[in-house]
Structure 1
Amino acid sequence: MKAKLQFNKEGYITAIPVNCIINKARPNCGATTCEINSPRNSIIIEPNLPVIEGKEISMQGKFFPVKNGVKVKEIKDYLKTTVGYKKFMTTPESFHKLREAFNATGEDLHSYFMLFDESHKIINDARFRVAITAILEDFFKCKERSLISASPFSKEDVELFKQEGLYTCDIKLEKRYKKDITVISTNNTIQTLKDILSRNTSRQYFIFLNSIDTSLQLVEKLEIKEESNIYCSGDEHNKNKLYRNGYHQFHHQIGNFNKYNFLTSRFFSALDIELDYKPEVIIFSDYSVARNSVISPLDDTWQIIGRFRNGVASTTHLALTTPEAVPESKELILQKIMEEYNAYKLVKGYKELLPHSFQSPLQEFLEHLPIHEYIMPNGELNRYRIHNRLNHEEVVGIYQTPETLREAYLQCNDYFNLTFAEEYHGNKEMRLGKRTYNKFMKNMKFMEEFYYFKLNEPLVNQQQKMIFNSLKKEDPLLLEACQLLTREFIEEVRFDRQTLSREIIKERFNRGITRLPVIDLVLNTFHENRLYTESYIKQELNNIYKIAQLEREAKATDISRFFETSKRRTVNKQGEKGYLLLNARYSLSGNNPRPEFKETNTGILLEVGRQFIAS
């Protein structure tokens, strides 16, 4: 069954069909305005707050905005009013307030029509925004609901939503709506950007780039700080990052534009940017310094161009192409996920057969597994997160060569009038690099902020909580060190991360925070692709067993429980025997000293689980 989307003579939508996956083909055709004016109760879900803030200005009083600062009581009061049709607009993160208000008043949430705008974000944001898939349970319970976006879903994603009883509603884009774009492949993004900006210094530029660090680096190296604004989410982490770099020209709402305007992904879709001039638009991707800056032609480029109500002077996608952009195959990803999920279920079933007192350490063990991020509270796999992972790898592969980038855009030929170019620069030219800092001074500043705001004491006000969350996002390991270890000790070891990690693990165990110290300590002490003598392995493992209060004598071969190893071999000039440690059976992620399990052999998984319970 297929539904149809109706437009008036001006090209705006006149009615939104229910229970559909709607590909509206082009932005700015009035979908949200249509629904706000429709004769029914409805809830519109917007992926990002700026869209709601923009509609508040243009459609003041016609809907109830659910966002930060809005209280549940205010929603309840609105539900009790006798005005005509009730209209809500909310982000996924604020949806819980709606649910609470509906439950409190006895109003049936699922009797409302629910429209998920820019619904391609369900897949695109699934792995780093818990709320965006959490609300789908309520969404699919609504008798009438629809997904709508100007970016078409992949065939695999469409099949995923069809399983929930939705039908497709596709619009073929008319040629008059195609957008002009120049796609430039380069080996040096900043030098190419400098060349573009220097060609016309009188223009105003909107530069879409999903990395605050890279935006800061561009502003500094191009020496355009006084003429630049950075637009990003208004959370405390972003504010602190920008302030610490001496940058105060940043905004979380659209407006007050400068000559150079840098916008993160929060502003890629749905909102309207209304200007009395046509700006130059640059979409910036550099996989080598910001892996999250890869751009999908249909999900991102098409949406970005559509932000400008009055059109643009030109659009350029400037992209680094590099052999480093190697995607993992879909087949291998799915195979790994299923192997790990089967192992997870096996260990979980084993846990549930144990006495209650033994279940806690095994539950902690299960939460170490990488598969845990794909598992929903009901124990089932989160299909949307899996699709996100598959789609992301596909986008990464676009940036391997100029040819792969060109081919990706040619597949979207129905949407773009394409021009391709390649620009290359020598090694002496200006280059972007991964952002570096004076680490010791940065860490000192971090610790001073921790103690200045008395975060070592119970948090009693909103400011403390905001600063705490910002520091946690910035450097979780150093924050935990400040919480568990003395200031004197942290300074004495000069913020050495391996030492801090080891002491944190010991302190966690001593305080009863964790019951799994062995694996944490082993992976903090030993590392992949290094040679270790048998005597060193025994010595360090004995120290670890002592810390963990294990009454056993270590053997050098114990290391094979944590790493794949070479055969016993000579490891140094003195002729001592030992092992080359290959792949770890666990992984320590980023700053977090808690490991995640990556072994897929279920026999080893169960054996390690038994050992943890015994410890």
Structure 2
Amino acid sequence: MNTTIKIKATKNAKLSDVFLNGLIPHNSDIDKTETGNGLTTAEIKAPRNSIIINPQVNTIILKAKEWEAKGHIIASIYHEQREDITAFLKSNQVNKKIFVTPESFPVLIKKASDAGLLKMLQDEFFCLLDESHCYASEKFRKMILNPISHVFQFKKIAMGSATPFPYTDPRIIKLQKYKIVYGGSRGKVNIISCKKPRTALEELIKKNNFKGNVHIFFNSVTECFKVVKNTGITDVNIFCADAEENHIKLFNLNQYFKAEPKKGEYKRFNLYTCRYIEGWDMFDDYNTTIIIVTDTARPHTLISIPIKAVQCIGRLRDKKPYEILHITNDFNKEKHFEETFAQIEKRVMFEAVDFVKIYKEHRNSMVQAGIAKPSMMDEFISQYTTNELGIPELAHFKVNQFIYEAWTLSHYTNINALQTAWKEANYKTKLYGCELDVEECKDESKQSINKYVIDQFIEYRNNPEKYKYGTASLIIQKLENKYSILFQSLLILGIARIKQLNYDDELMKTELIQLNNRNALNKITAELDKILNVNCKYLKSFLKEALQPLYVKYEYLDNNGNVMKAKANQLETLGLYQIKEDRLTDNNGKRQAAFKIEGKNFELIA
């Protein structure tokens, strides 16, 4: 393997400024570090015949249109076959440029072969595997690996990406590696760790404290629909593939569908599915916020941090976002489940090699047994092998796709793995909490739950910056309503006294009532002093009717927390007055039960 050649570049330098004469070197594997620094453009401008294999149809269309407007003649092959490609190859055009998708690459090879031009193509055309990471990351594209059996027949090849994948294929390992070094970190990512990423996103949108436009990468049309529906936003675009199933999923929000992002047509909120992670340029201002949303409960939303997440952020051209947020949960596995890329590569490659070995032994056994029919293992082993010569051999690119998948999942092992993945992608990180709840201790004793709730509240109160994103504030409000006695105790009694009472609801409630009643009784006493006099007799009914409205007014409570029911003898039981049983004639001339006030046990301070 060749030593990597590192080339220092100034900020915003293009690759045509970095390489000698602006030419991408032959037989090279280029880590261009930054998106949008002109690998494709450098090859279009190069004074030679070129084939540029790009996985993004959108990029091909836009680049061809851009350079044809500048007088260049570009041939493109994607989806439908271009009928004049043979004539284009035979033409006297200088510096021929051919754009082709990986899936359509065999069309070019067949056209050239049928015209007797294949050797000329392989000898005279420079072949560039643009966005080379896609051959690992786009496993869902069944024909993404179409070019691989042909590319290495070309004399002059190169591959490049801002987010390269370390392929194991010996032919790639032999290529000269180049690393463009711009210096410094790519920026800072605020990781919002939560259990329900979509809910956290919705709360952020509702608060709408963003400085500028917001671009949200969330690979689920259904989840994007729910975000728009639940938040009620109308200043919004939803970018997804223009497919019937997507329009059905968007239902009554289909008016927000957009097929292609365009400069000047961004809304306050812009949601993108995986189709728009790559292959287009975002021209927005310095106030732009980029949000990436991933959810382990929806595996299709999980994207590789060092590759796809970096590509999301890289859509913004010529500047860094004002803020980058990654709203996510994780698998919450213990540290020993964490794996480095090298460990994953070793494990998956070992398994693949073993599968091929076992399969070959199995086929030999079938031959010896005289069985010529296909084996049930054929389809399984085809995931890891190529069969070009009639013998299944390990296909490194196919195995690398499995390595990529396992590597992507590993980024979500736990919060530490997430932070590590971002740091390996050269981003600084800051971790923010989001949700607070008591679900995980619901089977514990009431005292344990109370302690957990108080601990969570104190954590939230003492670290407001940590919880400035997401749903923490809402959860605190719900907790305050659900655990009203507990939060009243925290406010009135203080944490030290709550601990002394062992977080016991009944003890806290009793103490709160006692404290409340002491304060209320002082006010009730002052009111009674205005209407009751020593050495005077009062009907018990009168005293009861005098006390009850005062209990209501000042919220004098019984042991259950309800307003106390007044009784005349409470003048004495509450320690306010010295009273004696007596009789008194009422307004109807009847003798009724009464109390004589013989003294009072208080002295009001003026």
TM-score, structure 1 as length reference: 0.61
Match for residue 137 of structure 2 among 117, 120, 124: 124
After TM superposition, the structure 1 = structure 2 runs for residues 495-574 of structure 1, keeping only pairs within 5 Å, are: none
Give the residue type in structure 2 aligned to 1:344: Y
> Given residue 402 of structure 2, which amino acid in structure 1 is its aligned partner?
R
**In 2: Cα distance, 1:55 partner to 1:97 partner:** 20
8 Å CA contact 1:269, 1:304 repeated in 2: yes
- How far apart are residue 72 of structure 1 and its match? 3.4
SS in 2 for 1:89: strand
Per-residue CA distance 1:456-485 (angstroms, 9 max, x = gap):
xxxxxxxxxxxxxxxxxxxxxxxxxxxxxx
2:93: which partner in 1?
83
Whether the 8 Å CA contact 1:181–1:316 is kept in 2: the answer is: yes
After superposition, what is the alpha-carbon deviation per residue over 1:166-223, rounded to whole angstroms, capped at 9, x for unaligned? 1111122312x63232222222212321232224267422111223333233233333
1:100 aligns with 2:110: yes
- Alignment partner of 2:14 out of 4, 12, 15: 12
Unpaired runs of 5+ in structure 1?
Answer: 432-615
Give 1:398's match in structure 2, choosing from 378, 391, 411.
Answer: 411
Q: 1:26 to 1:332 in 2, by over 3 A?
A: closer
- Measured in 1, the distance between the counterparts of 2:338 and 2:10 equals 43
Show the 5 A alignment for 1:595-614.
none
Paired with 1:340 and 1:133, the residues of 2 have a C-alpha distance of 21
d(CA) in 2 for partners of 1:209 and 1:17?
A: 37
Tell me how far 1:86 sits from its aligned partner.
0.6
Residue in 2 aligned with 1:207? 216
Q: Which amino acid aligns with 1:272?
A: D
Question: Of the two structures, which has the highest relative contact order with CA contacts closer than 8 Å and spacing of 6 or more?
Answer: 1
Contact preservation (8 Å) 1:3, 1:17: no
Structure showing greater Rg: 2
- 1:423 corresponds, among 422, 426, 434, to 434
1:332 positional shift: 5.4
The one-letter code matched in structure 2 to 1:422 is G
Whole-angstrom CA distance in 2 between matches of 1:10 and 1:338: 43
* Percent pairwise identity: 23
Is residue 196 of structure 1 aligned with residue 218 of structure 2?
Answer: no
Which of 410, 417, 428 is the aligned partner of 2:423?
Answer: 410
Q: CA deviation at 1:273?
A: 1.8
Q: Which AA in structure 2 matches 1:318? A: I
CA contact (8 A) 2:12 2:318 kept: no
Q: Are 1:44 and 1:89, in contact at CA under 8 Å, matched by a contact in 2?
A: yes
Contact 1:45 1:90 in 2 (8 A): yes
CA contact (8 A) 1:36 1:63 kept: no
In the alignment, does 2:386 pair up with 1:386? no
Q: 1:409 to 1:212 in 2, by over 3 A?
A: same
> Are residue 247 (structure 1) and residue 247 (structure 2) matched?
no
SS in 1 for 2:143: helix
Question: Structure 1 residues 251, 101: CA separation in 2 closer, same or farther (over 3 Å shift)?
Answer: farther
For residue 165 of structure 2, give the secondary structure of its aligned residue in structure 1.
coil
Q: Deviations over 1:287-342 (max 9, x none)?
A: 11x21222333212222222111432221111112327977974654454344333
CA distance in structure 2 between the aligned counterparts of 1:35 and 1:8, rounded to whole angstroms: 20
Q: Which residue of 1 aligns with 2:280?
A: 271
Equivalences for residues 204-603 of structure 1 within 5 A: 204-224=213-233, 226-234=234-242, 236=243, 238-239=245-246, 241-242=248-249, 247=254, 249-255=256-262, 256-275=265-284, 278-288=287-297, 290-311=298-319, 312-323=321-332, 330=344, 333-352=348-367, 359-360=372-373, 362-363=374-375, 365-368=376-379, 370-378=380-388, 379-412=392-425, 415-426=426-437
Could you tell me whether the CA contact under 8 Å between 2:238 and 2:256 is conserved in 1? yes
SS in 2 for 1:194: helix
Kept in 2: contact 1:321–1:399 (CA 8 A): yes
For residues 7 and 408 of structure 1, the distance between their equivalents in structure 2, rounded to whole angstroms, comes to 25
Aligned-partner Cα distance in 2 for 1:427–1:93:
51
Taking the aligned partners of 1:402 and 1:82, their CA distance within structure 2 comes to 58
Residue 141 (structure 1) aligned with residue 149 (structure 2):
no
How far did residue 387 of structure 1 move?
2.3
- Give the partner amino acid of 1:74: D
Distance 1:59 1:242, change over 3 A: farther
CA-to-aligned-CA distance 1:536-569 (integer Å, 9 cap, x gap):
xxxxxxxxxxxxxxxxxxxxxxxxxxxxxxxxxx
Aligned-partner Cα distance in 2 for 1:63–1:272: 22
Report the CA distance between 1:38 and its aligned residue.
0.3
C-alpha spacing 1:179/1:238, structure 2 compared with 1 (3 Å): farther
Q: In the aligned structure 2, how far is the partner of 1:243 from the partner of 1:190?
A: 16
- Aligned equivalents of 1:276 and 1:86: distance in 2? 36
Superposed counterparts of 1:29-108, under 5 Å: 29-61=37-69, 62-68=72-78, 70-107=80-117, 108=120
Alignment coverage as a number of residue pairs = 416
Using the TM superposition, give the Cα deviation of residue 149 of structure 1 relative to its aligned residue in structure 2, in angstroms: 0.9
- In the TM superposition, what whole-angstrom CA distance separates every residue of 1:79-133 from its partner, at most 9, and x where no partner exists? 23322111011211222221222223322331211111121122222x3223222
In 2, Cα distance between equivalents of 1:4 and 1:404: 28
Inter-CA distance 93–376: structure 2 relative to 1 (3 Å threshold): same
Deviations 1:427-464 (A, max 9, x none): 89999xxxxxxxxxxxxxxxxxxxxxxxxxxxxxxxxx
Please state how far the C-alpha of 1:12 moved relative to its aligned partner. Answer: 1.2
User: Which residue among 161, 179, 183 is the counterpart of 1:170?
Assistant: 179
Contact 1:327/1:393, CA 8 A, preserved across alignment: no
Q: Which moved more, 1:319-328 or 1:389-398?
A: 319-328
In the alignment, the residues of structure 2 paired with residue 383 and residue 131 of structure 1 have an alpha-carbon distance, to the nearest angstrom, of: 15
Please tell me whether the aligned partners of residues 305 and 411 of structure 2 are also in contact (alpha carbons under 8 angstroms).
no
Partners of 2:92 and 2:175 in 1: CA distance: 32
Secondary structure of 2:30's partner?
strand
Residues 10 and 392 of structure 1, relative CA distance in 2, 3 Å threshold: closer
**Conserved? CA contact 1:190–1:430, under 8 Å:** no
CA distance in 2, matches of 1:4, 1:63: 34
Q: CA deviation at 1:140?
A: 1.1
Structure 1 match to 2:162: 150
Give the distance between the partners of 2:221 and 2:387, measured in 1 at CA: 33
Q: Deviations over 1:403-437 (max 9, x none)?
A: 2222322334xx32433222224489999xxxxxx
The residue number in structure 1 matching 2:576 is: none
CA distance in 1, matches of 2:186, 2:246: 37
User: Secondary structure, in 3 states, of the residue corresponding to 2:140?
Assistant: coil
